[in-house]
Chains A and B, each alone.
Chain A
Amino acid sequence: MTPPRTEAQETRARSRSHYAERRMEDALPGELSLNEPGPLVRPYGDTTGDGMVQVSFTLPLPHDKRAEGAALQLAAKMGMEPALLVHAKAMGPHFTFFVVYGSVSHLVDVREVEVMEREFELLSARDTNAAIRKHLRRKLVVVGACIGTDAHTVGIDAILNIKGFAGEKGLEYYRELTVHNLGAQVLIPDLVNTARELKADAVLVSQVVTQKDAHIHNTTAMSAAFREAFPAGEVPHLIVGGPRFEEGSAGALGVDRIFGRGTTPGEVASYLVHALVDPATRHQSPETRKKGRA
């Protein structure tokens, strides 16, 4: 049985009360509790339901009264009513920067929020290394290449080179990964042989050039060559990356996974752990996850 609120708690609750559905830090049975947010919420400034947000933006207008009015008009169209223009500054003769505070009229229904999940968990470099060390107990060997006539190593280098991409270090940076980047225009038989010699766990192939579907042809030829050269069940994990592959076409291309535009090295490393090292990192299904959060 929850004890009744003290006088101090009661006063505090009343002083901040708002017509919106106020949630209590110390809810009595039947009252809404802060511990169970939603389903309808508004932004929170300092009072439940106040809807306060701050935005900053630049308009391509010289700084004058008209520009300030334009900023408030934009704020109103964004649902900020009333809006308070707290800062306006000319940035050169043609632009003005604004900071606006205001209450938004919109409500958010958390029941309608859909969470898209990748099938594996994103791991830090440290966790990736730890998982490989713990479960594989040897280095995971990765071989990467651009095949066919494709000379664009941008993609494979972004994933493999220590310099990395989007602020993330490439796979070479991972202590428990042994990375062999074969570079551009690697012939498929050479790739197969190298993968065999190095006992590759995974082969990463990048395909940027898509003229006449070159990326499709190269990829299917590559996967067929691997399946021919290795006994079933011993084919290295085949991964292909590039900006123009269709999601969900991995099966048709004969590869295990496709990565698209904007993929970062950390995602690839996490996927390798998921696919080759530690199946325990498999995510909960989106359903259970949503419930777990709600």
Chain B
Amino acid sequence: MRRARSLARKAGQPVVELARSHTTVSVERATLRLAGLTGADHENVPWVNHLVDAVRDSVGLEHGVCLPAWDALQRGEAPDLLTLAQKASAGAVSFRIPEKGARTRAARSARSAVAGGIRTIDRQRATRDKLIGKHGDPKQKPWIYLIVATGDIYEDIPQAQEAAREGADIIAVIRSTGQSLLDFVPEGATREGYAGTYATQENFRLMRAALDQSSKELGRYIRLTNYASGLCMPEIATLAGLERLDMMLNDSMYGILFRDINPIRTFVDQRFSRQIHARAGIIINTGEDNYLTTADAIEAAHTVTVSQLLNEYFAKEAGLADWQLGLGHAFEIDPNVKDSFRLELAHALLARQLFPQAPLKWMPPTKHMTGDIFRGYLLDGFFNLVGAMTGQGILLVGMMTEAVVTPWLSDRDLALQNVRYVMNAAGGLTEDFAPPSNGLIQTRARQVLSEAVDLLDEIVTDTSGRGSAYPQPLLSAIADGTFGAMKRPPTKGKGLDGVVRKADDYDNPAVTLLEEGGTR
């Protein structure tokens, strides 16, 4: 295990260096959001996009958006940030990179504006702690995680409240298909989405307020989850912190592999977003289940472990604590395979043993849900049993109608009965369950770990990028198709044009405040 961790560090470190030396349009926009810039023009293009684009077009983003923007404010180009963005969108502001005294003044006032947003995040975290103290955490482990996805926030709200009444501890609002590829965050309360509801600041606020009501009604704090991964990771993470979301899907490589987002863009965005999550006390959920839905769950078991180790490294480097690491894994072995249940137990147990302090996120079968709802219900029961036996922290409730319809009211009720039965009947099994070290389960767990170490070894010794602009072995491995058989070179993918190498005098007060832990 120690070797696995040190290899993960070795693979991750050069990429962190790369992330530190670059910024992205989304990091800069997130900084403006912290400074309080909200809203969008009549075509729904957010003002943060306008301002960042305008600064970029005239003086570049190498120095960050703050210096030129607050310098313009100091020079009286506009009375406030919103007006500045509006004027800039019409090309009516001249930006420059301030020097000497002007630079100091611009940096100081930018810092004070951005610190306001950081303090809001701090206050929201304190409010969460207070509410948890008042209403309490769920009585049982794992916490029960249910998904809501209607596309209409006003439809989502009653559904989420009903799900909480039925027993959900965590409500996740699935995003509209394709939002991860939008290079802006939509604005306002939204009522139309494809197979999900857009993540917007207003939708976050509405849902959190509704669940605060439910928490009061039910006497336990109901947590709210949304999705950060994608082109706007830093901004969505920021909005989540400002609106007191409790968990965020945030995977270090998901966007690269499954959404073809540029690797550099992803690693830069990911680091900033995780720094925000760390500050906001948000639990991240990583996306290892995706590896198993695209590859065979037995053959690819070790890629899950590798991804968990990398996610852990990147998370801790960004300041997240163990209790904030909802590392993912899933029950996706073909049920027709002999001993499939024992193999699932082995994989789940390995994750538990590797990350004893992390609230692992255990995800239900999807790939082998055939539409035979009766068989699916049984499979979900076995999934719940693995969760009970291996002490998982977060249990995403499986629906027997997976792959058939979005869950009906009755599907959720039946699914929760399934969970309750298993937890009630077998919840204490963690105490008794100690498989012998020479049995199939422990042997398999050791095998997966050793394959994971081999793969990490292969990654850190990947020299195919040596001499190129991106010699980092992890980037070469991603380019070679090591993960999920997807080849993602660092020079390709969506969002690459939004990546900027920092100049020596780059300044971003958000990054400074997050790294120092400052509030002013």
Contacts and interface: CB of A to CB of B under 8 A. Distances in A.
B486 interface: yes
Contacts of B162: 92
Interface in A211-245: none
Nearest to B166: A92
A154 B176 CA distance: 10
B271 interface: no
A172 B257 CA distance: 11
A162 B253 CA distance: 14
A210 to B, nearest CB: 15
Interface in A143-183: 152-154, 157-158, 161-163, 165, 167, 169, 172-173, 175, 181, 183
A174 to B, nearest CB: 10
A91 B181 contact: no
B178 A153 contact: yes
Contacts of A167: 366-367, 403
Contacts of A193: none
B177 A158 contact: yes
Contacts of A91: 166, 409-410, 413
- The interface centre, meaning the residue of B166, B409, B484, B485 with most chain A CB atoms within 10 A of its CB, is B409
A167 B293 CA distance: 9
B20 interface: no
B433 interface: no
A161 B410 contact: no
A95 B178 contact: no
A58 B408 contact: yes
B410 A97 contact: yes
Nearest to A154: B178
B165 interface: yes
A161 B259 contact: yes
Contacts of B260: 161, 172, 181
A97 B413 contact: yes
Interface in B268-308: 290, 293-294
A124 interface: no
Interface string B245-265: 000000000000111100000
A92 B486 CA distance: 46
Contacts of A56: 410
Nearest to B293: A169
B229 to A, nearest CB: 11
A162 B258 contact: yes
Contacts of B367: 167
Given A169-B294, A173-B294, A95 B258 contact: no
A281 B28 CA distance: 53
A236 B408 CA distance: 44
A157 B413 contact: no
B347 interface: no
B194 interface: yes
A261 to B, nearest CB: 11
Given A92-B162, A92-B165, A154-B194, A162 B484 contact: yes
21 contacts: A57-B410, A58-B410, A89-B413, A91-B413, A92-B162, A152-B178, A154-B194, A157-B181, A158-B177, A161-B259, A161-B260, A162-B258, A162-B294, A162-B486, A163-B258, A163-B259, A163-B290, A167-B403, A173-B485, A181-B260, A183-B494
Given A58-B408, A158-B177, A167-B367, 5 more contacts: A58-B410, A161-B259, A163-B290, A167-B403, A169-B293
Interface of A: 56-58, 89, 91-92, 95, 97, 152-154, 157-158, 161-163, 165, 167, 169, 172-173, 175, 181, 183
The 9 closest A-B pairs by CB, nearest first: A154-B178, A163-B258, A91-B413, A97-B410, A58-B410, A167-B403, A162-B258, A154-B177, A58-B409
